[in-house]
């Protein structure tokens, strides 16, 4: 694929803005709607913002790290960008679709590229009933929260909560508790990517819970349903020697 038209976007930080100026001077900077590829400059947070903003465009995204973490980004180098783009490896991702019902009877939806997480709002632990494909799997989980993670997000919040790292292409989701109190020995589950997971908040008035899909928070939820949205496809580009599959694999062998 030829990448003649490149659209650069940059986080609001000096190193990202400097890179934007340098790259735009060398390659030009077309409008997003005319681009063959979008190149965000920043860290993983800015990459997620860019993916959410252009999730329905179908335009490939090739991030370059001008932030702190950069797990979803390629290394920064101004020279030879078009050659790097032409030899890059494409990774296809499907986001999670969250539907949250609130205590006032309202309903909100959002998409998540990394994870959907439920979190207690007060000092009291949350009580959550968990169903997978309509079958009750845990009648009452007492916890600080619980999350559903995609493979791409499995090295983020999910890993911090001691969830499993999932290789891309595994067609799995991680269901991971956050500081579970009861059942004490439950450490989560791996689910088929097409599973529909629903959470019912027990004693919601006394133990309020919020639901967060990446950046979108819905407070005081009573029921949350999460499924993979197969109608939405994100195309991420990575340098062949540093592709996302290799990064996820390597992460599992870090000391």
CA dist., res. 179 & res. 36, Å (int): 44
Question: Could you give the CA distance from residue 229 to residue 235 in angstroms, rounded to a whole number?
Answer: 14
Nearby residues of 190 by Cβ (< 8 Å), 6 or more positions away: 164, 166, 172, 173, 174, 175
List the structure tokens of 242. 């540093």
Helix/strand/coil for 107: strand
Count of CB atoms situated within 10 Å of the CB of 84: 19
Cα separation, 10 vs 105, whole angstroms: 39
Q: In what order do the strands lie in the sheet with 172-178?
A: 189-192, 172-178, 145-149, 115-120, 209-213, 216-218
Contact 34, 11 (CB under 8 A): no
- Asked if residue 244 lies in contact with residue 67, where contact means CB atoms within 8 angstroms, the answer is no
44 counts as catalytic = yes
CA atoms within 13 A of residue 126's CA, in its CB half-sphere? 28
In the set 18, 34, 36, 44, the catalytic residue is: 44
Active site residues per annotation: 44
């Amino acid at each position: 694929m030829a990448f003649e038209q490149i659209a650069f976007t940059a986080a609001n930080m000096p190193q990202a803005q400097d890179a934007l100026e340098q790259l735009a001077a060398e390659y030009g900077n077309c409008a997003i709607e005319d681009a063959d590829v979008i190149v965000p400059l920043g860290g993983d947070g800015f990459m997620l913002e860019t993916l959410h903003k252009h999730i329905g465009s179908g335009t490939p995204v090739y991030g370059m790290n001008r932030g702190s973490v950069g797990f979803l980004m390629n290394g920064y180098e101004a020279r030879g960008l078009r050659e790097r783009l032409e030899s890059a490896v494409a990774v296809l991702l499907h986001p999670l679709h969250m539907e949250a019902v609130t205590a006032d009877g309202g309903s909100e939806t959002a998409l998540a590229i990394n994870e959907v997480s439920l979190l207690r709002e007060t000092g009291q632990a949350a009580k959550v009933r968990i169903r997978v494909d309509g079958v009750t799997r845990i009648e009452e989980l007492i916890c600080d929260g619980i999350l559903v993670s995609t493979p791409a997000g499995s090295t983020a919040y999910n890993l911090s909560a001691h969830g499993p790292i999932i290789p891309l292409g595994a067609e799995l989701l991680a269901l991971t508790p956050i500081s579970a109190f009861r059942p004490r020995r439950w450490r989560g589950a791996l689910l088929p990517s097409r599973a529909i997971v629903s959470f019912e908040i027990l004693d919601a008035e006394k133990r309020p819970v919020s639901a967060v899909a990446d950046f979108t928070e819905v407070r005081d939820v009573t029921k949350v349903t999460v499924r993979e949205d197969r109608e939405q496809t994100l195309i991420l580009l990575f340098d062949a020697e540093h592709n996302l599959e290799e990064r996820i694999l390597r992460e599992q062998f870090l000391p």
